Amino acid sequence: MEQLVNLFHGFAVALQPYNIMLMVIGIVLGVIIGVLPGLGGANGVAILLPLTFSMSPTSAIIMLSCIYWGALFGGAITSILFNIPGEPWSVATTFDGYPMAQQGKAGEALTAAFTSSFVGALFAVVMITLVAPLVASFALQFGPAEKFAVYFLAFCSFVGLSKEPPFKTIAAMMIGFALAAVGLDSITGQLRLTFGVTHLLNGFDFLIAVIGLFGIGEILLTMEEGLAFRGGTAKINLRVVLQTWKELPAYWMTSLRSCFIGCWMGITPAGATPASFMSYGIAKRVAKKGSNFGKGEIEGVVAPETAAHAAGTAALLPMLSLGVPGSPTAAVLLGGLLIWGLQPGPMLFVEQKEFVWGLIASMYLGNIVGLLVVLTCVPIFAAILRVPFSIIAPLILVLCAIGAYSVHSSTFDVMLMLVFGVIGYLLKKCNYPLAPLVLAIVLGDKAEEAFRQSLLGSQGSFGVFLSNPLVSTIMILGLIALFWSVIQEGYSRLRSAATA
């Protein structure tokens, strides 16, 4: 029960009026950062970090982590309204969120997204409160082989997701892998596929690809289809929030599953992006209305959002207890800890109780404040869709360009984004799914790195992927996910053969 006592001390710290004010400021800033594609939580926190040096470490981390929650919330807004994921982990939210908005259900989709985010985060915080020390030691078991197994599972649970022919899915995924291979090969330290072009040293940044493929591609498609936003009929009052809330408890199973996936991926630390993809993929398989996914199913918004937020929250745990950031934003927060003179690591929980529990308490409060802030804004966000396309489209274009520029402060990236836009448009026209391509760009180089690190360590033996119960279990789960449809079909044939 010592944890609970500590937590109440934490609440006492976090509930000081000054800290509550910082919380609200942080959430609002975070939502703005999350809405602007490309700016991203990591950049946002990094930019605002120096502002916090004059504060006490506890106040500073409360404000910065609230920016983080805000960005997590905000990422969903543009995904649903314009099919532009503001953050990598919002990509999976577009799959059903955007179709819902087009059907005039933007308010429902936003409410579902925000509420699920809150549920995911809350679940993760409760887990952190109760089992922090236990979880930290679990994360230590993850070496390169285990990490590769997790990525493998993420890919496998996603294959076969699209309704397009499997070859098109594989082709799209391979393009993604090829793009992910550009830049520095982190294992040999040599440049790959850069052809002497300085701008390619950094490889293709995921965010630029996504802003182009989704954002610009969507604008091109809309232009072709007659310059009109569908979904302008969205209800814009707060009653929609309550109506959606009545619907949501029906998806408790998906929520719970996504919470577990999210926490697990956040701790390992694979991060929020694979968590959201994996959760969406599995929900599509398992849910009753799974075949409707991609056409505007509310469950398809609940699954990725819950997982992304659970992972984003859980990712702070390895950062605090081990000093390993579970996400890019956590990496920047980690830098902040060191600057404030705190050493993340096993001793932080012992020596800096006020700080740690103040932070954990602010996770509870920050998410509640965040939910209130964004929910009250749902009608405002939904009303954006009533603005004529001819006015909003140039604004979105400008927003995309700013986003692409701000990733590396480079105009080359803006060009690249436009090129990706055209590619996105063409791929959509030819019915190639974009999601596998995006997944491969995000996780391709990480998976490759973990794969090669494992083989270096095992001196080339593939046995390393089955060398202990943990890695074997994950790999086998991956294989089951990969061949699930074959297994299912075989099972139903067997059954029909038996009844015949």
Partner 1 sequence: MRRSTHLALGAIAALCTGGVAAPATAAWEPVRPVEFIVPAGTGGGADQMARTIQGIVTKHSLMKQPLVVINKSGGAGGEGFLDVKGSGGNPHKIIITLSNLFTTPLATGIPFSWKDLTPVAMLALDEFVLWVNADKPYKTAKEYIDAVKAAPAGSIKMGGTGSKQEDQIITVAVEKAVGTKFTYIPYKGGGEVAVQLVGNHVDSTVNNPIEAVAQWRGGKLRPLCVFDAKPMAYDEPIADGKAWKDVPTCKSAGLDMEYLMLRGIFMAPRATKDQVEYYVELFKKIRATPEWQEFMKSGAFNTTFLTGAEYAKWVEAEDKRHQALMKEAGFLAPSN
List the structure tokens of 463.
């046995």
- Minimum Å distance from CB 313 to partner 1? 19
One-letter amino acid for residue 53 of the chain? F
- Residue 496 binding partner 1, by CB under 8 A: no
Q: Which is nearer to partner 1, 151 or 389 (CB)?
A: 151
- Residue 18 binding partner 1, by CB under 8 A: no
Residues 345-364 that bind partner 1 (CB under 8 A): 345-348
Residues 128-157 that bind partner 1 (CB under 8 A): 140-144
Q: Which stretch binds partner 1 (CB under 8 A): 41-49, 125-133, 168-176, 279-287?
A: 41-49
Q: Which is nearer to partner 1, 97 or 336 (CB)?
A: 336
**Residue 331 in contact with residue 325, Cβ under 8 Å?**
yes
Residue 176 to residues 217, 230, 429, Cα–Cα distance (Å): 17, 30, 18
List the structure tokens of 422.
């055209």
Q: Which stretch binds partner 1 (CB under 8 A): 43-51, 80-88, 382-390, 416-424?
A: 43-51
| Beta-ladder partners of 192 | 183
- Residue 56 binding partner 1, by CB under 8 A: no
Of 339, 368, 377, 466, which lies in the binding site for partner 1, with binding defined by CB under 8 A?
Answer: 339
Of 12, 256, 338, 395, which lies in the binding site for partner 1, with binding defined by CB under 8 A?
Answer: 338
- Residue 325 binding partner 1, by CB under 8 A: yes
Residues 431-460 that bind partner 1 (CB under 8 A): 449, 453, 456-457, 459
- Residue 197 binding partner 1, by CB under 8 A: no
In this structure, what is the dihedral angle of CA atoms 70, 140, 146, 480, given to the nearest 10 degrees? -70
Q: Which stretch binds partner 1 (CB under 8 A): 163-171, 210-218, 281-289, 319-327?
A: 319-327
Q: Which of 399, 385, 74, 405 is nearest to 215 (CA)?
A: 399
Q: Which is nearer to partner 1, 188 or 499 (CB)?
A: 188
Quote the CA–CA distance of 299 and 285 in Å, as a whole number: 12
Of 335, 353, 377, 470, which lies in the binding site for partner 1, with binding defined by CB under 8 A?
Answer: 335
One-letter amino acid for residue 279 of the chain? S
Quote the CA–CA distance of 283 and 300 in Å, as a whole number: 7
**Residue 322 in contact with residue 344, Cβ under 8 Å?**
yes
- Residue 203 binding partner 1, by CB under 8 A: yes
Contact mark string toward partner 1, 387..416, x via CB under 8 A: ---------------------xx-------
In this structure, what is the dihedral angle of CA atoms 295, 298, 302, 305, given to the nearest 10 degrees? 60
Q: Which is nearer to partner 1, 107 or 344 (CB)?
A: 344
Q: Radius of gyration (Cα) for the chain, nearest Å? A: 22
Contact mark string toward partner 1, 256..295, x via CB under 8 A: ----------------------------------------
Q: Which is nearer to partner 1, 72 or 373 (CB)?
A: 72
List the structure tokens of 434.
């974009």
Encode burial over 269-282: b for 16+ CB neighbours within 10 A, e otherwise.
Answer: bbbbbbbbbbbbbb
Q: Which is nearer to partner 1, 17 or 460 (CB)?
A: 460
Quote the CA–CA distance of 422 and 217 in Å, as a whole number: 6
Quote the CA–CA distance of 171 and 8 in Å, as a whole number: 53
Helix (H), strand (E) at residue 27:
helix 17-35
Task: Give the CA angle between residues 490, 493, 494 to the nearest 5°.
Answer: 85
Interacting residues toward partner 1 by CB under 8 A: 42, 46, 49-51, 53-54, 140-144, 183-191, 194, 198, 201-203, 322-325, 328, 331-332, 334-336, 338-339, 341, 343-348, 408-409, 449, 453, 456-457, 459
